[in-house]
Copies of this chain bind each other. A is one copy, B any other.
């Protein structure tokens, strides 16, 4: 029996899940893989705090050195979350020869090049399956199974909180604020949900996934981010009537040396595989030149699904001697051999409040045509109210900047833009 001794940095929700998974499943794992995983020390801020797992008090420490300097510990598992001090602790652990397994998307997205450099210096492993989409094996799939592919297109529903909110708005016609409150009550949204609903959580994950898919570092700050906070039940209902489902999509596309990465609410056709991914599920849809279309779907959050990914990484790290690290066309964030394009092409769903008088449609079509945007579908929705009538347009594909410029030129006396939502076909 091989024993691997590990230390935890942090012991919150995910750390507790990993502890419980190792406790409840350790014997079976030992029997199967001839491997015993022993947790020796657990770094916490407060040793007296109540926890979701029964870690013995004597394992707890508030001193990170007790883990980093312990020669018996070969793998350090990080669940602290946030950029610092997690990043520095992981780097110090790797410099003292320990492999790191982390669930921390923020630290990986923001400091990956430093983390990987530290791993390569001492030839240890750096594993982060749990940092993106919980149990879904997207990191391993990109890093290993799909190595023979040029991936040119990736779209994901990679935030469970927003997908839960949008699914309920779609299914029941409810309003954003009401569903968000319910999601908080059910534990599906944080008390402060900003990172989720503003799209930043998805953007960190997209930065990691796109980097692996494109074999080029895609810095977090290059990701265009727009959240779901301004979406209305009316937009979702109108889209539904036109055959579209609204999702917070993370999109990454590559053509030659040009990359676009964006997180924003997106209408997709109701028969798209991602349109069926509802509730708190996550899914990643991609296209590679050899594998063709592929989709991985599962639980993107929660203590046990995330623990599944963490312990999978620990077992892999403990049973291999060769830690493979991805290579990137651009090593650090600053070294830009690629172009990040923010003038992507998209179709657009536009909801307008227009004056109810002759000639209005002509004017709107004219302003759009001046920027080479053409209308694919138009629908008048509901009746006249205070001399204004709601109009919905869906455009043909147009460059983002043309669309923005066209909308900026609309005369408020003729119509005001209530919503602009991108459409992916």
Interface string of A133-159 (1 = CB under 8 A from B): 011110011001111111000000000
Do A304 and B316 have beta carbons less than 8 Å apart? no
Do B28 and A311 have beta carbons less than 8 Å apart? no
Kindly state the separation between the CA atoms of A292 and B301 in the bound complex, as whole angstroms: 11
User: Given the interface contacts A305-B290, A307-B148, does A320 sit within 8 Å of B322 by beta carbon?
Assistant: yes
Do B149 and A145 have beta carbons less than 8 Å apart? no
Q: Bin chain A's interface residue count.
A: 35 or more
Which residues 1-30 in A have Cβ within 8 Å of B in the complex? 21, 25, 28-29
The interface centre, meaning the residue of A28, A34, A144, A311 with most chain B CB atoms within 10 A of its CB, is A144
Do A148 and B308 have beta carbons less than 8 Å apart? yes
User: Given the interface contacts A215-B32, A319-B322, does A25 sit within 8 Å of B148 by beta carbon?
Assistant: yes
Kindly state the separation between the CA atoms of A137 and B140 in the bound complex, as whole angstroms: 9
A179 to B: closest C-beta gap in Å:
21
User: Given the interface contacts A32-B327, A297-B273, A320-B322, does A141 sit within 8 Å of B144 by beta carbon?
Assistant: no
Kindly state the separation between the CA atoms of A289 and B144 in the bound complex, as whole angstroms: 25
Do B25 and A315 have beta carbons less than 8 Å apart? no
Interface string of A286-302 (1 = CB under 8 A from B): 00111111111111001
With contacts A137-B141, A293-B299, A297-B297 known, what are 16 further pairs, Cβ within 8 A?
Answer: A25-B150, A29-B148, A135-B146, A135-B288, A135-B292, A136-B294, A140-B144, A146-B308, A148-B307, A148-B308, A148-B311, A281-B293, A291-B309, A294-B298, A296-B297, A322-B322
A-B contact pairs, 25 of them (CB 8 A): A29-B147, A32-B327, A33-B147, A34-B327, A135-B294, A137-B145, A140-B140, A140-B145, A141-B141, A145-B312, A147-B311, A147-B312, A147-B316, A148-B307, A281-B293, A290-B304, A290-B307, A291-B309, A292-B302, A294-B296, A294-B298, A295-B297, A295-B298, A319-B322, A321-B321
Chain A positions within 8 Å of B, measured between CB atoms, are 21, 25, 28-29, 32-34, 129, 134-137, 140-141, 144-150, 215, 273, 276, 281, 288-299, 302, 304-305, 307-312, 315-316, 319-322, 324, 327
